[in-house]
Amino acid sequence: MQWSRNPRQGEFAMLWRKTRKSMCCPIIGLTLALVLCGMLPVWAAERVALDVELNDPQAANQWVLPPNSGASVSGGELILDTVNRNGVRIFLRKPTLSDLTLTCKVLVESKGPGVRAFEVCFHSAGIASHQFVHVNRGAAILGWVSRESLWNKAASVANARKEDAWLDVKVECEKQQIRFYLDGRLVLEGTDSHWQSGRIGFGSSQALVRVKDIRVEGTPATLDKPWRDDAPKVPVLFGTFHELEPKRRHTKVSGKLDISASEPFIISSRITNPKLGAHEQPHLFKMPCGDIHLVFHSDGDIHGATRVVLRSCDKGKTWEPMPISVNRHEAVGVLTDGTVLVYDDYAFRKEGNLFVGQMCVSKDGGRTFGPVELASFHRADAAGSVAAGTHWKAKDLDKYRTTSAKWSDQLCHALWRSVLQKQDGTLIACAHTRYKGDKKGKLRVVCYHSTDGGRTWGSESTVAYDLDVGGEGFVEPVMSLCSNGDVLCMMRHGLWQARSTDGGKTWQPYKTLEVRGVDPDLCLMTDGILACSYGRPGNRIMFSIDGTGREWTDRLQIYEYQRGSFGYTGIVEVQPGKLLYVYDRRDAYAEYDGEQTTAIQGVYITVKRKG
């Protein structure tokens, strides 16, 4: 390490140089010790700067490097290789600083199908107590971790970044205010007060990350407690439903339902089906012919990711690839005449407020699908869009250039999860989107209507929007008809719901369920029970016994994990009273002799009313 002079630290730098030359002076040595320990006279509160040495043969000793983690120091660079490992974070042993500015160069190699994320960590009070900026292929996220909660988001923004090229990275912290710059551009800013001093570090998730030219400047500080280098104790029982303690399997028990869950089973994995890619973020859809479609990411958690489809003709026991013409199978509508509509996640601006998106149609109940067609979305005047190049690589946009992106690369989200048909034949569907002028980058959920069988969508109305909602705002909506005819829309961050009593024309004020979760799914069962699956933390399901969604009870923990799932789930009723529940799981599998992989797992849940 090399401390360097700047106009505000001349006295400290001079003291450091003198002390390095001769430690025989007890006064200088004592003064240095007081500075480094934080027992400072007034003048010593000035800022100091440090260039981190990475070329020295002993450079690795400066870092807290977990064994067998893929983290090393070589050739003047930090190397964080987690392409085929769990994510890792490493920390510099000293100094402890507040109000810091950290600069460095980061290179992410284009290896592996995952998020390929690098992380800059700061204000660390321990391995599991710090703040971070997580930068993946499509977003920058400001977050924090504690020993009790290992992933918490404070702010985020869509952001594309280069690979196989050095990036100039900068983090500025001033009390609770945090700013993140990439290649000289302010990308993300937010506030967080969990920690305001500590060590710095770096992390990697599903990526090969290289870091060099690390420089940190800040005010010397001390921690209230010694820096903790021990990982949090993992609760004794992480695992699937039957592995959990009974009191953790089933909570908020109503006493009105008999519920049982099967042992989990692997549907597909990166080991058995490597050509299907990442095996992440599954959704489920039931076809009129009885088939079930399982849809999941093959490219990892990135904008424009291709989703693949597996089909089961025997209620989820066996699966086979299902060819389908849209690139990113995201929403499904099943009509009363057996027609099935499948929509891509993205729509592109054609002209004015007219957007078009990929769709395909099945006329035989979902057994086969026709070629790509274009659905039209007549958006509201305030509807926003963004250039695909902001988030996407050219090869991902190329998948749309001959169809929906033929006229422009300005895109928005089209439909998400569910398309419902009302008694008068009108279709309604929902999506998350941004409007021009929306502040803080917050997303809203909107509802569309179609009167021509799903080819044209309009009459856009807002279901939920709130500047004070966490994360990106309201996202990942799903709709279902309720037992009383209402339309219920469930949304992420954490879980919120809104209700319409007039078929989606107007929406009552949204409300929180005070439940954490992402990407919920809904299923109105044959006997009128409404089921809702959700995840993160844990993969769970809950029930509305009267089917209205006004009260949720009988919460089951299907899979409890530490960092083993995206938390995206899907449910369908395979026969009266029996649900198929799917989720992704990253873990070491006994079925593969302990080898770690990502798989889509399924579990059957049987639900019966008592009495």
Residue 30, helix vs strand vs coil: helix
The model scores a pTM over 0.75: no
Partners of 2 in beta bridges: 51
DSSP annotation string for 272-316: T-GGGTT-EEEEEEE-TTS-EEEEEESS-SSTT--EEEEEESSTT
- Asked if residue 533 lies in contact with residue 569, where contact means CB atoms within 8 angstroms, the answer is yes
Q: How far is 549 from 527, CA to CA, in rounded Å?
A: 14
- Asked if residue 347 lies in contact with residue 429, where contact means CB atoms within 8 angstroms, the answer is no
Q: How far is 198 from 354, CA to CA, in rounded Å?
A: 51
> In the prediction, which pLDDT does 1 show?
53
- How many beta carbons lie within 10 A of that of residue 376, not counting itself? 17
> In the prediction, which pLDDT does 365 show?
96
- Asked if residue 513 lies in contact with residue 532, where contact means CB atoms within 8 angstroms, the answer is no
Dig out the tokens for 439 from the structure: 């502040």
What are φ and ψ of residue 505, in 5° steps? -75, -45
Please list, residue by residue across 390-399, b when 16 or more beta carbons sit within 10 angstroms of its beta carbon and e when fewer do. Answer: ebbbeebbeb
Dig out the tokens for 474 from the structure: 């309201």
- Could you check whether the bond before residue 537 is cis, i.e. omega within 30 degrees of 0? yes
Q: Mean pLDDT for each consecutive 10-residue tract of the chain (611 residues)?
A: 44 32 36 41 69 94 92 96 88 96 96 86 95 91 85 84 95 96 95 93 94 97 93 70 89 96 95 94 96 93 87 96 92 96 96 96 96 96 86 87 94 94 96 86 92 94 89 92 96 92 95 91 98 94 97 95 85 98 90 87 97 79
Q: How far is 3 from 35, CA to CA, in rounded Å?
A: 13
Q: How far is 473 from 493, CA to CA, in rounded Å?
A: 7
Residue 534, helix vs strand vs coil: strand
- Asked if residue 377 lies in contact with residue 348, where contact means CB atoms within 8 angstroms, the answer is no
> In the prediction, which pLDDT does 25 show?
38
Q: By CB neighbour count within 10 A (0-12 exposed, 13-18 middle, 19+ buried), where does 195 fall?
A: buried
Distance from chain centroid for Cα 402: 30
SS3 content of the chain, % helix, strand, coil (to 5): 10, 50, 40
Residues 505, 507, 513, 518: is their CA dihedral positive or negative? positive
> In the prediction, which pLDDT does 16 show?
34
Q: How far is 147 from 234, CA to CA, in rounded Å?
A: 10
- Asked if residue 171 lies in contact with residue 232, where contact means CB atoms within 8 angstroms, the answer is no
What are the pLDDT digits (tens) for 538-569?
A: 899 999 999 999 999 999 999 998 667 899 99
- Asked if residue 430 lies in contact with residue 440, where contact means CB atoms within 8 angstroms, the answer is no
User: H-helix or E-strand containing 423?
Assistant: none
What are the pLDDT digits (tens) for 289-330?
A: 999 999 999 988 877 888 999 999 999 999 999 999 999 999
> In the prediction, which pLDDT does 237 show?
59
Partners of 260 in beta bridges: 606
Residues near 80 by beta carbon (within 8 Å), at least 6 away in sequence:
70, 71, 88, 90, 118, 202, 203, 204, 207, 208, 209, 210, 211
Of how many residues is the chain composed?
Answer: 611
For 75-207, strand residue ranges (E) read: 77-81, 88-92, 97-109, 117-126, 129-135, 139-145, 152-158, 167-174, 177-182, 185-191, 197-205
Dig out the tokens for 147 from the structure: 């020993």
Q: How far is 434 from 282, CA to CA, in rounded Å?
A: 25
Q: How far is 523 from 528, CA to CA, in rounded Å?
A: 10
> In the prediction, which pLDDT does 38 show?
42
> In the prediction, which pLDDT does 522 show?
98
What are φ and ψ of residue 306, in 5° steps? -75, 140
Give the side-chain half-sphere CA count within 13 A for 443: 24
Residue that has been written with the tokens 């000293």 in this structure: 94
- Asked if residue 517 lies in contact with residue 490, where contact means CB atoms within 8 angstroms, the answer is no
Q: How far is 221 from 35, CA to CA, in rounded Å?
A: 9
Residues near 39 by beta carbon (within 8 Å), at least 6 away in sequence:
none
Cα three-residue angle 356-360-363, rounded to 5 degrees: 140
Q: How far is 51 from 169, CA to CA, in rounded Å?
A: 15
> In the prediction, which pLDDT does 234 show?
57
Q: How far is 496 from 494, CA to CA, in rounded Å?
A: 7
Cα distances from 85 to residues 187, 450, 584, 591, 597, in angstroms, run: 28, 46, 17, 19, 9
CATH 2.60.120.560 domain extents, the chain: 47-220
Determine the topology of domain 47-220 in CATH. Answer: Jelly Rolls (2.60.120)
Residues near 162 by beta carbon (within 8 Å), at least 6 away in sequence:
none
- Asked if residue 456 lies in contact with residue 450, where contact means CB atoms within 8 angstroms, the answer is yes
